[in-house]
Amino acid sequence: MRRRQFFKPLPPSLTGSVPPSRGPAPAESDLFVYGTLRKGQKNPFAARLAGQGRWISEGTLQGRLYELGGYPGVVDSADPQDRVLGDVFRIPAFGNLLRWLDAYEGCSPRHPRPHEYRRQRVPVTLSDGTVRHCWCYLYNGATEGLKPILSGDYLSGR
């Protein structure tokens, strides 16, 4: 029988790393949603996210929100006054939920390009002031002629 060897980890001062944060475990990711998937929405897609994920907090990201015709889209903004309100969910990093969300948002590998959305990590400020890097679906199209939602809150701006 082979003996396992356990090594004592080096302290952060010697490795240059920082201690673990309150962020997600490696098998989990945070997801920021700002429209039809928000907490409390009455549709089967929001119900699936709420059932398979865990709501963490409201949060905001720097961006500009637009009405796309029954659902919203957010784009990057250089103006720090442009804030979008949404919800952060903790979701499994691996498995079917992210693939399902990609399909729901029309940006899975089987959807034709260019995709309407792209999934990328963005900094989100939680209601307690902490910042998390969350997956978010950003609108990938032109915004000319679209109606901006100036409040940044899709649920109140409808």
Per-residue model confidence as pLDDT tens digits over 92-144: 877 789 889 999 999 999 999 999 999 999 999 999 999 999 999 999 999 99
| Four-residue CA torsion sign, 46, 89, 120, 33 | positive
| Cross-strand bridge partners of residue 148 | 66
Q: What is the Cα–Cα distance from 151 to 108, expressed in whole angstroms?
A: 30
Residue 6 has pLDDT above 90, yes or no: no
What pLDDT does residue 3 have? 39
Tens digit of pLDDT for each residue in 42-98? 999 999 999 999 999 999 999 999 999 999 999 999 999 999 999 999 998 777 898
What pLDDT does residue 96 have? 86
Of residues 3 and 153, more confidently modeled: 153
Those residues whose C-beta lies under 8 Å from the C-beta of residue 41, and which sit 6 or more positions away, are none
